[in-house]
Amino acid sequence: MDIPLTIAGRVFNSRLLVGTGKYRSNDEMLRAIEASGAEVVTVAVRRVDLDRSKDESILHHIDPKRWFLLANTAGCYTAEDAVRYARLAREAGFNDFVKLEVIGDQETLLPDVAGTLEATRILVKEGFKVLAYTNEDLITALRLEDAGAAAVMPLASPIGSGLGLLNPFHVRIIKRRLHVPVIVDAGVGTASDACVTMEQGVDGILMNTALAAARDPVAMAHAMRLAVEAGRTAFLAGRMPKREVAVPSSPVAGMLD
Amino acid sequence: MNETIQIVVNGEPRAIADGASLLELLAALELDPRAVVVEHNRHIVRRPALGDVRVAPGDAVELVHFVGGG
C-alpha cells in the first residue's frame, strides 16, 4: 500500500524518473525508457543544428503524449542563464515544470546553491514548478522549500559518477524535514544504489547515465525499476533494528542433552 | 530589390532579406515554427507573433528545441 508520487499536485505513476542523454542510439534509449517504467523523462534545451548534420529534436523519438517531459537547465552556471533556459523550455508548450540546475564547478558539476536559490525564487514567482537539483545539505534544502520549490533533488553523488549514495544520513534528514517531495538526482550507478537510496524513504530517483552507460541499458532499466520498487517497499515495510550481537533465529529451548 | 541584411542566428552570421519576419526566417531555414522556440534579442517571441516581428541588421536570434539530456 503506497500513495503515488505527487509533485505540485501532479500525480506520477512511477518513482523512477529517467534522462534521455548519452544513449548509443535512439532506439536503445526508447526501449530502456520503456523498460524503466518511468513516466517522467528529462530533456535539455539546446540550439537547433542549422546545417542538419546532427540528429534532430528528441521529440522525434519521445512522444510527449506518452511521457511527461521535464526540461532541465543543465549546463547553466548562473541563475540568469538557468532562468533563460527555463523560460525557453516552457515556451515549448508542454508544462511549467523545470528541473533547475545551476552548476558551480566544471570538474565536479556540483551545484551552486546560492545561484539555485536565486533562480528558484525568480522561477517560482513566474509560476514555474521548480524541481531543484542541489547537494545533500539540509539547510539548502530547507531554503529551497521556503523559496517555493515543488521538489528538492539532492544528489546521491556527482552527476555521471556512478558512485552511488554517498551520504544516506543527510539524505534521510532532508527527507524527514521537508514537506515537498525529495527526489534523489544523480550519482546512482547500479540497482543496489537505487534500492539503498529508496530505502532512505525518499520519494523518487532520477537517473540517466546509470542506464545509458550500462553495457545493456534496457536490462539495467528493468533492474532499476525493480530496485526502486524493492527499496520503496522495504522502506514502507520498516527494516529490523540493527544489532551488534547475534540473536539466534531458532529456539534456544529443546536442545538435546 | 531584395536587399539583404546580416543577423546572427544561433551564434552564426547569416544573411536574410531586409524586412523579413521571424516566421520568414524560419521558412528560409526550413524549420517548422511549432518545433522550435524563438528568442529575438534575448526576448522570447511566441508563435503567434513570429510573423509580426521583423529582424534588423545585427539582431541576435536563438532557435532552440529539446534534445536528449539528464
Listed by start position, the domains of chain A span 5-237
Taking phi over 0 as left and psi of -120 to 50 as alpha, with beta for the rest, B69 belongs to beta
A65 flagged as catalytic: no
Taking phi over 0 as left and psi of -120 to 50 as alpha, with beta for the rest, A75 belongs to left
Average pLDDT over residues A160-166: 96
Residues 2-31 of A with CB under 8 A from B: 19-23, 29
Domain extent, residue B38, equals: 4-64
Average pLDDT taken over every residue of chain A: 96
Predicted confidence (pLDDT) per residue in A231-244, tens digit? 999 999 999 999 99
The answer to whether position B58 is within a domain reads yes
Predicted confidence (pLDDT) per residue in A81-95, tens digit? 999 999 999 999 899
Q: At residue A99, does pLDDT exceed 90?
A: yes
Report d(CA A166, CA A141) in Å as an integer: 17
- Closest-CA residue of A relative to B36 is A92
pLDDT given for residue B7 in this prediction:
96
**Least CB–CB distance from A47: residue in B35, B62, B68:** B62
Report d(CA A102, CA A113) in Å as an integer: 7
Chain B residues close to A44, C-beta within 8 Å: 66-70
Domain count within chain B: 1
Is the complex ipTM higher than 0.90? Answer: yes
Residue B52 belongs to domain with CATH number: 3.10.20.30
**Least CB–CB distance from B68: residue in A44, A89, A159:** A44
Chain B residues close to A58, C-beta within 8 Å: 65-68
Burial environment of residue A96 by CB neighbours within 10 A (0 to 12, 13 to 18, 19 or more): middle
Report d(CA A250, CA A129) in Å as an integer: 53
Report d(CA B36, CA A138) in Å as an integer: 38
The answer to whether position B60 is within a domain reads yes
Average pLDDT taken over every residue of chain B: 94
Average pLDDT over residues A134-159: 97
Q: What is the pTM of this model?
A: 0.93
pLDDT given for residue A54 in this prediction:
61
State whether CATH 3.20.20.70 applies to domain A5-237.
yes
